[in-house]
């Protein structure tokens, strides 16, 4: 009996340590993952006392970013481990009207560019970037990332991104400003082709996974990226040609799959 107790005391001891370290790890994680920015900004009291503030919170909560684990400090900086407002904001979480702020209009491309590197480097080749800080053209500045994307890029919204993007072009590209008024129509055509090609692509890849050679899959996936790159560099003519080619090629693949014709690597 004594032997049994002795022999069982070791595992119990180990178990106890395990429990403690688990508890410790768990509480440590709980502390690290608590986020004062979210805790405070999500307070429903702001619906009446500071509606705009709450709206910004909601935009984030419903965005692809929230779903992907991108949080306030990834764009705003600050100290989410501090509970009170002043220490949490510190010197970094500043408003959009402060020139040093990460979300000041001309700093926004670099802020987003911390993660979307490829897109920002293409954007920087565009007329939009060139005109972004032209101070003598306040009402004719180039668009920055949030002009087109808003912060409300909800994963659930899907293609609403397209509608929003086109609506944003019209703000500056219209007959009153005389700044390329044909652009909203042209981008509409492009984005429709792009969306059609993308949905064909995902359907065909799922249904006919093994009938489409890897080489072809890679080529198609790359075509989408090239379009997005040229779009951000505002090479609209190129994007018009490429989006048409891509859609035609997607439809050709669908036709072949339906008729049982093998997809070759070209």
Site for ligand HEC in 70-99 (CB under 6 A): 70-76, 78-80, 84-85, 88-89, 93-97
Q: Which one, 25 or 140, has the nearer CB to ligand HEC? A: 140
Q: Which of 5, 17, 28, 40 binds ligand HEC (CB under 6 A)?
A: 40
Among positions 1-20, residues that touch ligand HEC (CB under 6 A) are none
Q: Which of 153, 196, 216, 263 binds ligand HEC (CB under 6 A)?
A: 153
Please provide the DSSP assignment of 139-165 as one string: GGPPP-HHHHH-S--BGGGTTHHHHHH
CA–CA distance, 126 with 61 (Å, rounded to integer)? 31
CA–CA distance, 190 with 166 (Å, rounded to integer)? 11
116 scored as a contact of ligand HEC (CB under 6 A): yes
Closest listed residue to residue 258, CA positions, set 177, 204, 198 = 204
Say how many C-beta atoms besides its own lie within 10 A of residue 130's C-beta.
12
Q: Which of 17, 53, 205, 226 binds ligand HEC (CB under 6 A)?
A: 53
Q: Which of 54, 152, 187, 212 binds ligand HEC (CB under 6 A)?
A: 187
Classify 106 as helix, strand or coil. coil
Classify 154 as helix, strand or coil. strand
112 scored as a contact of ligand HEC (CB under 6 A): yes
Stretch that binds ligand HEC, among 22-30, 161-169, 199-207, 241-249 (CB under 6 A): 161-169
Closest distance to ligand HEC from the beta carbon of 256 (Å):
26
109 scored as a contact of ligand HEC (CB under 6 A): yes
Q: Phi, psi (5° rounding) for residue 27?
A: -70, -35
- Enter the DSSP assignment of 77: -
226 scored as a contact of ligand HEC (CB under 6 A): no
Q: Which of 58, 62, 174, 180 binds ligand HEC (CB under 6 A)?
A: 180
Say how many C-beta atoms besides its own lie within 10 A of residue 162's C-beta.
17
Strands (E), the chain: none
Among positions 231-250, residues that touch ligand HEC (CB under 6 A) are 231-232, 234, 236
Q: What's the token pair of residue 235?
A: 């090479």
Q: Which of 8, 133, 163, 179 binds ligand HEC (CB under 6 A)?
A: 179
151 scored as a contact of ligand HEC (CB under 6 A): yes
Q: What's the token pair of residue 146?
A: 């949030």
Stretch that binds ligand HEC, among 136-144, 200-208, 214-222, 251-259 (CB under 6 A): 136-144
Q: What's the token pair of residue 78?
A: 């600050």
142 scored as a contact of ligand HEC (CB under 6 A): yes
Do 144 and 105 touch, CB atoms closer than 8 A? yes
Closest distance to ligand HEC from the beta carbon of 12 (Å):
43
Rg, Å, the chain Cα set: 26
């Amino acid at each position: 009996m004594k032997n049994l107790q002795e022999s069982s005391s070791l595992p119990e001891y180990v178990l106890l340590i395990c429990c403690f370290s688990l508890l410790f790890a768990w509480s440590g994680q709980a502390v690290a993952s608590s986020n004062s920015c979210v805790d405070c900004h999500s307070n429903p009291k702001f619906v009446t006392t500071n509606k705009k503030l709450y709206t910004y919170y909601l935009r984030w909560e419903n965005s692809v970013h929230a779903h992907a684990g991108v949080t306030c400090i990834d764009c705003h900086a600050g100290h989410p481990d501090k509970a009170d407002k002043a220490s949490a904001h510190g010197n970094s979480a500043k408003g959009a009207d402060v020139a040093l702020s990460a979300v000041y209009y001309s700093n926004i491309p670099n802020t987003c560019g911390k993660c979307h590197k490829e897109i920002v480097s293409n954007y920087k080749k565009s007329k939009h970037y060139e005109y972004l800080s032209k101070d003598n053209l306040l009402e004719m500045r180039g668009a920055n990332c949030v002009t087109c994307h808003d912060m409300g890029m909800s994963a659930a919204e899907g293609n609403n991104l397209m509608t929003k993007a086109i609506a944003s072009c019209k703000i500056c590209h219209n007959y009153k400003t005389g700044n390329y008024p044909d652009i909203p129509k042209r981008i509409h055509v492009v984005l429709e082709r792009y969306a059609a090609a993308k949905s064909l692509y995902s359907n065909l890849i799922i249904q006919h996974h093994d009938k489409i050679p890897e080489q072809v899959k890679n080529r198609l996936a790359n075509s989408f990226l090239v379009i997005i790159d040229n779009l951000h560099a505002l090479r609209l003519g190129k994007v018009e040609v490429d989006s048409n080619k891509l859609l035609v090629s997607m439809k050709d693949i669908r036709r072949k799959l339906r008729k049982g014709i093998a997809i070759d690597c070209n």
